[in-house]
Amino acid sequence: MKFTPRHTGLALAVASLAALTAACNKPADNAEAKKDTATTEAGKDGAKAIAGLKTEKEQVSYMIGMDMARSLEPVKGEIDLDTLHKALKTSLEGGKPLLDEKQAGEIREAFAQKIRAQQIAKLETDAKNNAEAGAKFLAENAKKPGVTTTASGLQYQVITEGKGPKPKPTDVVSAHYKGTLLDGKTFDSSYDRGEPATFVLSQMVPGWQEGLTLMPVGSKFRFWIPSKLAYGPQGAGPIGPNQTLVFEVELLDIGKPGQGK
């Protein structure tokens, strides 16, 4: 369960556009260059028939536009398309821009600060709402038959009781699992990947460390993990700040130290 950190919308847009530019500037070897030249020279710019895009130039232009749109998606509410088109046209045609480099830099920095402030405010709001929703859910869930709440606040339910040994926190374990949010949305699943996960238990979030030591090998448990035992206020990847997580876990085996991934 490794998730990428969150990035600002402006940073994602800039990184994506930079990647596109780098791909276009990548030098081709001789074989590739000859192939590209042959394709371009092969009638109608070598373009395949696409409705509304007759030439290779039109198709490439549209593709770049699609890539730019995906890159700018996080900040689309801040963009005036007519002005964006005007800037592109002026810059690409070598005209005189309405902003000099100093002005553009100042605007860029101010805009980045604005986006960061918006994101911080949203994270704070989401963290508060998620914490309240999680606490309410866990309080109700604790009353259900078969649900056990530990001293740490971890909740679990035995679906199948195995007969094997229980792992220690320092053990390497092999398990199948499915992780969902309280709304039922799956954010991670070894079943979807078609193979169990192998990991050192001590390297997992506290809720997993505690929960799996309760499981004999061969068991299947359902866990409800409070955010304080999961990813906390920072969240991770698809997991928002202070979100309570639900896991179904099958403990398959206990391995030897050094086997974990």
Closest CA to 174 of 206, 147, 196, 141: 196
pLDDT in tens, 79-101: 999 999 999 999 999 999 999 99
Residues 84 and 151 in one domain: no
Same domain, 153 and 247: yes
Looking at per-residue pLDDT, the higher value among 47 and 257 belongs to 47
Residue 6 has pLDDT above 50, yes or no: no
Task: Say yes or no to pLDDT of 10 above 60.
Answer: no
92 and 153 part of one domain: no
One domain, residues 154 and 83: no
CATH number at residue 176: 3.10.50.40
- Summarised one tens digit per residue, pLDDT across range 134-160 is 999 999 999 999 999 999 999 999 999
Give the mean pLDDT of 10-16. Answer: 53
In a domain, 75, yes or no: yes
User: Residue 202: phi, psi to the nearest 5?
Assistant: -65, -15
Instruction: Quote the CA–CA distance of 84 and 82 in Å, as a whole number.
Output: 5
* Cβ 229 vs Cβ 205: under 8 Å: yes
Query: 245 near 207, Cβ under 8 Å?
Result: yes
Q: What is the DSSP letter of 50?
A: B
In this predicted structure, the answer to whether residue 43 has a pLDDT above a threshold of 90 is: no
Please, what is the average pLDDT of the chain? 87
From 37, 67, 98, give the residue that closes a domain.
98
pLDDT higher than 60, residue 57 = yes
The beta strand positions in the chain, using DSSP E, are 148-149, 155-160, 172-181, 186-189, 197-200, 220-225, 245-254
Is 129 within the bounds of a domain?
no
Into how many domains does the chain fold?
Answer: 2
Residues 159 and 86 in one domain: no
**Coil, strand, or helix at residue 229?**
helix
pLDDT surpassing 50 at residue 77: yes
The answer to whether residue 118 is domain-embedded is no
pLDDT band for position 5 (cuts 50, 70, 90)? very low
CA 241 to CA 235: how far, in whole Å? 4
pLDDT (tens digit per residue) in 190-232: 999 999 999 999 999 999 999 999 999 999 999 999 999 999 9
- State the pLDDT at residue 23: 56
Report the pLDDT value the prediction gives residue 48, as an integer from 0 to 100: 82
Q: How far apart are CA 174 and CA 201, in angstroms?
A: 10
Residue-wise pLDDT tens digits, 64-76: 999 999 999 989 9
For residues 81 and 6, the model is more confident at 81
Predicted pLDDT of residue 190: 96
What is the pLDDT, as a whole number, of residue 59? 93
Residue 260, in any domain of the structure: no
pLDDT of 60 > 90? The answer is: yes
Q: Which residue range forms the structural domain that includes residue 181? A: 147-254
Share of the chain above pLDDT 90, in %: 77
